[in-house]
Structure 1
Amino acid sequence: MKALTWHGKNDIRCESVPDPKIEHGRDAIIKVTACAICGSDLHLFDGIMPSMQAGDVLGHETMGEVVEVGRDNKKLKVGDRVVVPFTISCGECFFCQRGYYSGCERSNPNASMAAQLWGHSPAGLFGYSHLLGGFAGGQAEYLRVPYADVGPLQVPNGLSDEQVLFLSDIYPTGYMAAEFCNLKGGETVAIWGCGPVGQFAIKSALLLGAERVIAIDTVPERLELARASGAITLDFMTEDIYERIQELTKGRGADACIDAVGTEPSTASGLDAVVDRIKVATFMGTDRPHVLRQAIHCCRNFGTVSIVGVYGGLLDNLPLGSAINRGLTFRMAQTPVQHYLPLLLSRIEKGEIDPSFVITHRASLEQGPDLYQTFRAKQDGCIKVVMKP
């Protein structure tokens, strides 16, 4: 089959790889009908995620049609149309039973490797390094889905692939980011990053009762899309974000701040951002937390900082004194996608949201390597790429 594979920094290829096979009784094989490039895939593209190996198949936003089912899988049947969560979860362990699917204790075969870095291992993920299981991803013609009686969601034929594909990751992630803010109605929420996850966080915060959303980015197309969703937009390259949020909130600060950027802001203003870049370039640091520092300072006393941007290692110079002395609450997670699927599918069916609004580019797998470059460079108005094998 054809698949997008990793061969090093800035080296993504479309090439032939072996077809996946059933390996365990609860597996399923799906024929991929739609997949996407995620912002977190760019961390792999940029070579900053450890334990990638040449030839690894990428991708964790995937849906398709079931073509084979393991003998122990009683949930799915051949012909079912499903969207696949990026988190691989057994459904039976301590965390899965409590709805914390992204903390699954059983799905990462390389859990000891992850524990050396993080203390404990999260769930295995599709197409996202051997640290997180070494599972082949879904930017391919076919995908093996472990624990397929727990993860995949059967979707109605009345909804298009483009309406449901993002249930695999970015819609639940953006929704979770807003849910973490514990909105009661009438709040001001500031969101750093107007990429796809940030766009879903904007929509979700307004759906959950925020009175105002302040969206922060510098890419014109992203800011325009944020405004179309009802956000006030700030360009961090031309405005002092702290001062503007102080002005907009009459000196109080935002009720909640969402970091939808994470470790690798492509551009950032301020001396601390320059220092972050130098430390990473000279192997004196692993992450660049400029956005998180700013979110902490911009949050009101006893407000909430919601973190859904990906961080991988150790963060320098976080203003923890500010957070402690002002009573901030931090909420963060890899999204337990399965927990959110029924609710968010219902919102799509009711017409409350059409997730396809973020798509700017549609392509084949063969065009994927070039579109990784386009997406990374934010060229051609690229916000979200969907590929159809």
Structure 2
Amino acid sequence: MKAMVYRGPYKVRVEDKPRPKIEHPNDAVIRVTLAAICGSDLHLYHGLMPDTRIGHTFGHEFIGVVEVVGSSVQNLTVGDRVMVPFNIYCGTCWFCSRGLFSNCHNVNPNATAVGGIYGYSHTTGGYDGGQSQFVRVPFADVGPSKIPDWMADEDAVLLTDMTATGYFGAQLADVVEGDTVVVLGAGPVGLVAARSAWLMGAGRVIVVDELDERLERARTWAYAETINFTHVDDVVLEMKKQTDFLGADSVIDCVGAEADGNFTQHLTGAKLKLQGGSPVALNWAIDGVRKGGTISVIGAYGPVPNAVKFGDAMNKGLTLRMNQAPVKRQWPRLFEHVKAGHIRPSELVTHRFPLEHISEAYHVFSSKLDGCIKPLVIPEAA
């Protein structure tokens, strides 16, 4: 099959790889019909995530058609059109039984925190991802769901991570009716988090970013006020000014380890493996939220320390809530919102690339060229 492969920082290309096979009776093999590139993939692309190995295939947002099923699979049949959450989880461990699918205890031998994730380095289990023609899906009776007949492919693929994660971020923010919510980052997840905050009852939503085209989407798609942090001397002071100098009730960090990476971040993260990214956005959240407020963190950070202002968070009495989104837990409600037209994820798609142009796709998305907000990847017919 054809698949995207990693050949080192800033080096990805399409190569021939062996088509995946059934390795366990609970496996399925999915023929990928549509995938996406996530902002989190850029951490891998830039070499900022530890243990990203040569030859690894990225891609944790994908949908497809069931090609083969293992002998124990009962819920899927060959030919089913399915969407696959980015979480790989067993469905039966202590954590899965409590809905913490992203913290499954049985699918990632390399970490005690996060469970398995498709195409996201060996720190999350080393599973190949969906930027390819085929992908092996473990625990096929647990993760994948059949795509409703009424749902478009481009909406379905963006529910496998982006939309579910943004919605989850708004949930974690503990929004009370009338609250002021600040969203850091106007990438796809931040835009969904901002729009979802209204669904949670927010009275004001303010989005912070530096790219004018993304801030325009925040205004027109997420109906938010905006701050371009390059246009103000002190973004925290600006956040305070706009909230009667109290601070926001909730701040949602949708940035995490900045995907661009500065010199210090590359040195301490990629080279010395000392930290999983710059703490700038998280410290803005700690400084910009009001005393007693809530910070929701859904931006991706590496599994190692960051220089976070934890003392300030403690002294302000803040509640910090965070996790990788348990995607499938969000689907029932999100399906209702998509069907009702409250959220249409596909409206954020700006670019579509054939798999064979994956190098260009990563370059355009990474460099934020041509107003790229959310790119999709279309595998060639196998």
TM-score (norm 2): 0.95
Paired AA for residue 124 in structure 1: G
Distance across 2 between alignment mates of 1:22 and 1:284: 35
What residue number does 2:167 align with? 175
Matched, 1:308 2:298: yes
Distance across 2 between alignment mates of 1:265 and 1:12: 16
The DSSP-based 3-state class of the residue aligned with 1:174 is helix
Matched, 1:344 2:334: yes
What residue number does 1:270 align with? none
Q: How does 1:293-304 map to 2 (within 5 A)?
A: 293-304=283-294
Distance across 1 between alignment mates of 2:114 and 2:75: 25
- How far did 1:265 drift? 5.3
Distance across 2 between alignment mates of 1:131 and 1:334: 14
What residue number does 2:139 align with? 147
Distance across 1 between alignment mates of 2:150 and 2:5: 33
Q: How does 1:77-226 map to 2 (within 5 A)?
A: 77-108=77-108, 111=109, 113-114=110-111, 120-226=112-218
Further displaced range: 283-292 or 37-46: 283-292
Any idea what the Cα deviations from partners look like across 1:258-288, whole Å, max 9, x if unmatched?
1111112538xxxxx8866775587384221
Further displaced range: 196-205 or 340-349: 340-349
Matched, 1:283 2:309: no
What residue number does 2:24 align with? 24
Gaps of 5+ in 2: none
What residue number does 2:231 align with? 238
- How far did 1:171 drift? 0.8
The DSSP-based 3-state class of the residue aligned with 1:297 is helix
- How far did 1:21 drift? 0.8
Distance 1:181 1:125, change over 3 A: same
What residue number does 1:259 align with? 253
Distance 1:94 1:162, change over 3 A: same
CA contact (8 A) 1:153 1:341 kept: no
Distance across 2 between alignment mates of 1:14 and 1:312: 26
Distance across 2 between alignment mates of 1:332 and 1:152: 24
What residue number does 1:76 align with? 76
- How far did 1:73 drift? 0.7
Distance 1:274 1:66, change over 3 A: closer
CA contact (8 A) 2:46 2:260 kept: no
- How far did 1:343 drift? 1.7
- How far did 1:57 drift? 1.2
CA contact (8 A) 2:49 2:270 kept: no
Any idea what the Cα deviations from partners look like across 1:228-281, whole Å, max 9, x if unmatched?
1211111111112112211111111000011111112538xxxxx886677558
What residue number does 1:353 align with? 343
Distance 1:302 1:56, change over 3 A: same
Distance 1:87 1:152, change over 3 A: same
What residue number does 2:363 align with? 373
Distance across 2 between alignment mates of 1:134 and 1:281: 18
Any idea what the Cα deviations from partners look like across 1:111-137, whole Å, max 9, x if unmatched?
2x32xxxxx242111111112111111
Which of 363, 371, 375 is the equivalent residue of 2:353?
363
CA contact (8 A) 2:208 2:226 kept: yes
CA contact (8 A) 2:40 2:259 kept: no
CA contact (8 A) 1:181 1:256 kept: yes
The DSSP-based 3-state class of the residue aligned with 2:300 is coil
What residue number does 2:320 align with? 330
Paired AA for residue 255 in structure 1: D
CA contact (8 A) 1:265 1:288 kept: no
Distance across 2 between alignment mates of 1:194 and 1:371: 20
Distance 1:44 1:282, change over 3 A: closer
- How far did 1:388 drift? 1.4
CA contact (8 A) 2:85 2:144 kept: yes
What residue number does 1:250 align with? 244
TM-score (norm 1): 0.93
Distance across 2 between alignment mates of 1:221 and 1:33: 29
Count, aligned residues = 376
* Same amino acid, percent of matched pairs: 44
Matched, 1:383 2:377: no
CA contact (8 A) 1:164 1:345 kept: no
- How far did 1:314 drift? 3.9
CA contact (8 A) 1:276 1:289 kept: no
Further displaced range: 93-102 or 309-318: 309-318
Gaps of 5+ in 1: 115-119, 268-272
The DSSP-based 3-state class of the residue aligned with 1:33 is strand
Paired AA for residue 136 in structure 1: D
Any idea what the Cα deviations from partners look like across 1:11-55, whole Å, max 9, x if unmatched?
000111111111111111111111000000001100111112211
CA contact (8 A) 1:253 1:300 kept: yes
